[in-house]
């Protein structure tokens, strides 16, 4: 239990507030993404990805937000995570090329987790988030799960939480995550996520 008030972190640590969100209903329509841009995002399923390629993809998507979990895995751990029949690795593409990536986790029979969802830095602000999420939700609801869920945190983009709420997700739980700063361990370069200062 974290006490009320401020809690100091040791140097070299980072912390974030994590918000979990869920939806129990398939969107009645394509929601906020409906319109002219809807058809411009396609999802491409990637099976048995090369691990170096995947790590580069993961950094490209999440280094600016200090994503590091997949980067700490050994080759065996990462291969097992990506090659499970319940994992779907998806590249999002528009007319201009690749714009982002997502992963769905179907390891629980009645629910689907959107384990990762992110636009590449150069695709942010181009109106592609809505159609990307619409296509992903359409895929996530295949098989008629009872719940689709995801989480975001205060290290993610400032608009992430509001975006997910507008997409129909409802916040249901919060947690605090504390970890060693991945930049100080060489998992990410020190220039990653300059909005989060390194405290040595």
Residue whose token pair is 């993404």: 33
Residue whose token pair is 């919060």: 174
User: Is residue 185 one of the residues assigned to a domain?
Assistant: no
User: What pLDDT is recorded for position 37?
Assistant: 41
**Can you say how many angstroms the Cα of residue 84 is from the centroid of all Cα atoms in its chain?**
18
User: Is residue 9 one of the residues assigned to a domain?
Assistant: no
CA distances from 51 to 6, 68, 87, 150, 186 (A): 40, 15, 15, 24, 18
- Supply the Cα-derived Rg of the chain in whole angstroms: 17
User: What pLDDT is recorded for position 40?
Assistant: 83
Cα(173)–Cα(156) distance, integer angstroms: 17
Burial (CB < 10 A; 0-12, 13-18, 19+), residue 150, is: buried
User: Is residue 187 one of the residues assigned to a domain?
Assistant: no
User: What pLDDT is recorded for position 121?
Assistant: 94
User: Is residue 63 one of the residues assigned to a domain?
Assistant: yes
User: Is residue 189 one of the residues assigned to a domain?
Assistant: no
User: How many folded domains does the chain comprise?
Assistant: 1
Which residues form the domain of 89?
14-180
Q: The pTM is what?
A: 0.93
User: Is residue 116 one of the residues assigned to a domain?
Assistant: yes
User: Is residue 89 one of the residues assigned to a domain?
Assistant: yes
Q: pLDDT in tens for each of the 200 residues of the chain?
A: 788 999 999 999 999 999 999 999 988 655 454 454 454 899 999 999 999 999 999 999 999 999 999 999 999 999 999 999 999 999 999 998 999 999 999 999 999 999 999 999 999 999 999 999 999 999 999 999 999 999 999 999 999 999 999 999 999 999 999 999 999 999 999 999 999 999 99
Pairing of β 87-94 and β 97-105: antiparallel
User: What pLDDT is recorded for position 3?
Assistant: 86
**88 beta partners:** 104
The per-residue pLDDT for range 71-109, each reduced to its tens digit, is: 999 999 999 999 999 999 999 999 989 999 999 999 999
Pairing of β 42-46 and β 87-94: antiparallel
User: Is residue 47 one of the residues assigned to a domain?
Assistant: yes
List the CATH number of the domain containing 144: 3.40.630.30
User: What pLDDT is recorded for position 28?
Assistant: 66
């Amino acid at each position: 239990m974290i006490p009320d008030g401020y809690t100091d972190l040791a140097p070299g640590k980072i912390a974030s507030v994590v918000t979990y969100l869920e939806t129990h209903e398939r969107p009645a329509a394509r929601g906020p993404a409906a319109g002219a841009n809807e058809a411009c995002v396609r999802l491409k399923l990637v099976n048995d990805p090369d691990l170096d390629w995947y790590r580069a993809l993961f950094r490209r998507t999440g280094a600016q937000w200090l994503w590091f979990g997949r980067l700490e895995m050994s080759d065996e751990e990462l291969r097992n995570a990506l090659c499970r029949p319940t994992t779907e690795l998806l590249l999002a593409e528009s007319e201009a090329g690749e714009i982002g990536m997502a992963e769905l986790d179907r390891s629980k029979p009645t629910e689907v987790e959107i384990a990762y969802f992110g636009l590449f830095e150069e695709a942010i602000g181009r109106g592609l988030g809505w159609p990307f999420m619409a296509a992903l939700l359409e895929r996530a609801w295949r098989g008629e799960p009872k719940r689709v869920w995801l989480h975001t945190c205060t290290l993610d983009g400032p608009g992430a939480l509001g975006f997910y709420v507008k997409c129909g997700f409802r916040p249901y739980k919060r947690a605090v995550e504390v970890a060693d700063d991945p930049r100080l361990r060489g998992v990410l370069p020190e220039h990653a996520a300059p909005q989060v200062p390194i405290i040595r």
